[in-house]
């Protein structure tokens, strides 16, 4: 069983450490253990309880009411999905539930939560408003060493599978004259954004050629004449020298006859003089790609 300090609990749940301390004193909401130096220490069950509390607070429930609930009553309220709950509150609940199921390696629960979000919002809004914030929270967990890479791989594999299935369920492309070539450059492995871009493009009737992760630029140079894409699309996430990114983008911008290059991901990696690079469009999010299409 993991143990967490209060600042780690704050970052995972979104509840301020000062507020957690007040709730402990006023409502005995959770009772932390104490280290030898009298510092608070929390376990997995307490983390999950505070995630549930955070979900109910987002739905407008009062802390005084929540604190009076038994564990069974608290779990029962979490399972209720009131139709008049605001969208943002619903998303917060789904995000917290995904974190809990990821920490427990509960694939069935993770898939059930994902499917419930898709049923309510559709695949596009689920990825934008639930999955992306969830992945951001997973990044926070990574930073405090409470979410191991294997847990992130567990969650990512399910999300990728869902995106692939959604893409496979789309109608065949009707706009084959404007083909997109999608890939991740060398040393890039985070594929969810690329898979989502592929889904968005295909949902609008455009043809795509999907190459996946860690593709050498030499391979792109070889395939471009054969595919003759109208657009190339790639993501940069992995931290690396900006000069390396700039050199790769300059090389890619010269490939193909009048092909445009779409670049997304970590904006800090993009060169400051990006406006000088030929035929490159920088995407700021899924919405900007959708607007272009």
- Specify the CATH number for the domain of residue 219: 3.40.50.280
Q: Are residues 184 and 90 in the same domain?
A: no
pLDDT number for residue 83: 45
pLDDT in tens, 74-106: 877 776 655 445 567 788 889 989 988 998 899
Q: Which residues pair with 264 in a beta bridge?
A: 235
Q: Are residues 117 and 51 in the same domain?
A: no
Could you tell me the residue range of the domain that residue 104 belongs to?
83-169
pLDDT bucket at 274, cuts 50 / 70 / 90: low
Q: Are residues 175 and 286 in the same domain?
A: yes
Q: Are residues 48 and 103 in the same domain?
A: no
pLDDT in tens, 175-226: 878 899 999 999 999 999 999 999 999 999 999 999 999 999 999 999 999 9
Q: Are residues 182 and 285 in the same domain?
A: yes
Q: Which of 169, 202, 235 is the last residue of a domain?
A: 169
Q: Which of 134, 169, 204 is the last residue of a domain?
A: 169
Q: Are residues 121 and 221 in the same domain?
A: no
Q: Which of 41, 65, 80 is the last residue of a domain?
A: 80
Q: Are residues 262 and 183 in the same domain?
A: yes
Confidence (pTM): 0.80
Residues 6+ positions from 5 with CB-CB distance below 8 Å: 39, 40, 41, 42
State the total domains in the chain.
Answer: 3
């Amino acid at each position: 069983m993991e143990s967490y300090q209060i600042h780690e609990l704050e970052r995972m749940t979104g509840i301020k450490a000062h507020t957690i301390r007040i709730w402990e004193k006023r409502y005995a909401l959770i009772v932390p253990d104490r280290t030898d130096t009298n510092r608070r220490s929390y376990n997995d069950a307490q983390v999950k309880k505070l995630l549930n509390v955070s979900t109910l607070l987002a739905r407008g429930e009062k802390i005084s009411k929540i604190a009076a609930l038994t564990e069974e009553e608290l779990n029962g309220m979490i399972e209720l999905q009131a139709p008049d709950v605001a969208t943002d509150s619903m998303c917060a609940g789904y995000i917290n539930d995904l974190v809990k199921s990821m920490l427990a390696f509960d694939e069935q629960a993770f898939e059930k939560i994902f499917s419930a979000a898709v049923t309510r919002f559709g695949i596009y809004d689920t990825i934008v408003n639930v999955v992306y914030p969830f992945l951001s929270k997973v990044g926070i967990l990574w930073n405090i060493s409470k979410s191991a890479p294997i847990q992130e791989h567990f969650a990512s594999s399910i999300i990728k599978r869902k995106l692939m299935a959604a893409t496979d369920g789309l109608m065949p492309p009707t706009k084959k004259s404007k083909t997109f070539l999608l890939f991740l450059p060398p040393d890039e492995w985070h594929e969810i954004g690329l898979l989502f871009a592929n889904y968005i493009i295909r949902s609008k009737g455009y043809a795509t050629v999907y190459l996946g992760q860690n593709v050498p630029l030499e391979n792109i140079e070889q395939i471009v004449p054969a595919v003759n894409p109208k657009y190339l699309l790639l993501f940069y996430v992995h931290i690396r020298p900006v000069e390396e990114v700039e050199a790769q983008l300059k090389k890619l911008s010269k490939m193909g006859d009048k092909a445009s290059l779409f670049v997304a991901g970590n904006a800090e990696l993009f060169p400051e003089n990006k406006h000088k690079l030929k035929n490159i469009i920088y995407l700021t999010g899924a919405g900007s790609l959708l607007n272009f299409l």
